[in-house]
Amino acid sequence: MAHLHIQNLQAGYGKKLILDKINLTVEQGEMIALLGPSGCGKTTLLNALCGFVPVSGGEIFAGSRSVSQLPAEKRNITMVFQSYALWPHMTVAQNIGYGLKVQKAKRAEINRRVSELLSIVKLEGLEDEKVTALSGGQRQRVALARALAIRPDVLVLDEPLSNLDAKVRLSVRHEIKALQKQLGFTSLIVTHDQEEALVMADRIAVLNQGKIEQIGTPEEIYHHPSTPFVADFMGAENHIKWPTHDDAFRLNTSNPAAELDLYFRSENAVLATPQAASKDDLNAGLIIHGHVEQSVFFGNNYQISVRCGKHTIQADHDQNLSENTPVTLSVPNNALHAFDKEGKLVAHQKNHAVSVKSMRMNHVC
């Protein structure tokens, strides 16, 4: 199947522009996940690709064909819907063969392709069942088979797993990923679930207010967010505006006066009591002294809220800690995402161990 190339795409509803100059290339056989907060334009992008929302600027190429101005049925870009959108009065086989029937394919060809797809999505033996008799996971597999039956150039999936319960969701996401690799289809998937995007996608595009903020591999997006928005959205929920003008914070930096926005994940904040903090902890990129405000059990660890002046910092820890315990948090440089006033990423600082303000181990916030 051909790849997808989106060039300066603009689309919206009436005069309301939602997508503003989207540029995105999906390579042959690649799966890209669109991630972003509610209302950022993910579904609008899929709808514009499929021809359900008109394109007001830019171009969409499926392979070498420009499809931006073609009607939906001529684009060969197929959508798998969140709600499956199956025909309830038809059997599994009739649903899978539906697109081929509309294309007026010969009966023998439809039968051959339907049995091929029944085997691919592991639904053999259920071909004569009504889709209403199937489980959610099975219905989603019928929807996927129906979309693949017509050999689309590009498959787009709009939150295909969100109607499934948590356990089924885990297995279906692996099935779709395996199928995508086996059949090599080019696809874009919208999901709200970051873990789903990290597991399923070859690359992730993070959208914010109708624009792409960053495109990269799951590892790049997770470990190297290039904007404050992506850092925050991808779970680096601790945010500190530097300088804090508070002795309880120390940033080991060559330019202590720089104004920075610092982001880091709770899992990267190493928590120790002031007495137990090691030399390495105290030479980390960012060191914070505070007191436990709350400790919540999360199954494999505790999430500790640490109060420090006007900040509350979240840190993961393997033990429960009682309220008001004095603690030291240290965040290594490579886990600290620092942005300047313009929101530009500042290269990770080497450990200079330059104290901005004198550090007092038993400082009380």
Instruction: State the chain's maximal CA–CA distance in angstroms.
Output: 81
Q: 37 to each of 188, 194, 234, how far by Cα in Å?
A: 17, 11, 11
Assess 36 for contact with ligand ATP (CB under 6 A).
yes
Task: Among 27, 28, 39, 323, indicate the residue that binds ligand ATP (CB under 6 A).
Answer: 39
Least Cβ distance, residue 196 to ligand ATP (angstroms): 13
CA distance 326 to 277: 12
Site string for ligand ATP, 182-211 (x = CB under 6 A): ----------x-------------------
Pick the closer one to ligand ATP by CB: 16 or 279: 16
Q: Which stretch binds ligand ATP (CB under 6 A): 12-20, 24-32, 110-118, 119-127?
A: 12-20
Task: Among 11, 30, 41, 221, indicate the residue that binds ligand ATP (CB under 6 A).
Answer: 41
- Count other Cβ atoms within 10 Å, centred on residue 344: 11
Residue closest to 207 by CA, chosen among 85, 79, 38: 38
CA distance 169 to 144: 14
CA distance 285 to 7: 40
Q: Own/partner pairs for 13-17, CB < 8 Å, 24+ apart?
A: 13/44, 13/53, 17/56, 17/210
Least Cβ distance, residue 47 to ligand ATP (angstroms): 7
Residue 254 DSSP label: S
3-state secondary structure of 196: helix
Pick the closer one to ligand ATP by CB: 58 or 290: 58
Pick the closer one to ligand ATP by CB: 97 or 210: 210
Task: Among 30, 43, 204, 244, indicate the residue that binds ligand ATP (CB under 6 A).
Answer: 43
The answer to whether 308 and 245 have CB atoms below 8 angstroms apart is no
Pick the closer one to ligand ATP by CB: 210 or 225: 210
Least Cβ distance, residue 335 to ligand ATP (angstroms): 28
Assess 42 for contact with ligand ATP (CB under 6 A).
yes
Site string for ligand ATP, 150-179 (x = CB under 6 A): ------------------------------
CA distance 128 to 31: 32
Number of residues that bind ligand ATP (CB under 6 A): 12
Pick the closer one to ligand ATP by CB: 52 or 87: 52
CA trace torsion 349, 350, 351, 352 (10° rounding)? -90
Q: Which of residues 15-34 bind ligand ATP (CB under 6 A)?
A: 16, 18
Task: Among 6, 24, 32, 44, indicate the residue that binds ligand ATP (CB under 6 A).
Answer: 44
Task: Among 1, 32, 40, 55, indicate the residue that binds ligand ATP (CB under 6 A).
Answer: 40
Q: 341 to each of 4, 170, 284, how far by Cα in Å?
A: 36, 40, 23
Return all residues near 119 (Cβ < 8 A) that are at least 6 apart: none
Assess 266 for contact with ligand ATP (CB under 6 A).
no
By CB under 6 A, name the binding residues for ligand ATP.
Answer: 13, 16, 18, 36, 38-44, 192
